Amino acid sequence: MDDKDRQIIRALQRDGRMTNQDLAAAVNLSPSPCLRRVRNLERNAIIQGYSADVDASAYGLSIMVFVRIRLERHNEADVKNFESRVRMIDEVLECHVMTGAMDYQLRVLVPDLEAYEDFIRNRIHPIGGIASIDTSFVYGTVKRTAVFPQSR
């Protein structure tokens, strides 16, 4: 991957619906080489897909929660069980393995506090093997972007 590929990626992260013609102009390429580069990035799974950026509140999911989880045991079976179960929970948009006191951080979207309680009681607790759960509710967002920083 070279700097031109990175320019293409950043442009598509800003606007994934732009035409190849507009993309080529934005990155100073002619359309044919630009399209070849995009197809190559897709073929090599560097570009893994395209999606719509949707306002979660307007969709009906007005509460974002960061949930940090620590497991009781870190053996292979318990880790695999937790990770496979979390992958199946729709409310979990992201799950990251963490360093430090907690093992995982989840980004969760729910419509209201009752739905969050249901999420914890009926989706997380039944997984088992969880030592602790720490929750932080988001009440504002200062910055949110899907555009990667420029490499140096």
Per residue in 47-87, pLDDT tens?
999 999 999 999 999 999 999 999 999 999 999 999 999 99
Contact between residue 98 and residue 105 where contact means Cβ atoms under 8 Å apart: yes
**Contact indicator for 34, 42 with CB cutoff of 8 Å:** no
pTM above 0.85, yes or no: yes
| 56-137 fold | Alpha-Beta Plaits (3.30.70)
Where is 105: in which H helix or E strand?
A: strand 104-110
Domain boundaries, the chain: 3-43, 56-137
pLDDT tens per residue, range 107-136: 999 999 999 999 999 999 999 999 999 999
- Element of type H or E holding 110: strand 104-110
C-alpha 124: how far from its chain's center? Answer: 19
> What are the helix (H) ranges across 47-112?
56-59, 76-87
Spell out the CATH class of 3-43.
mainly alpha
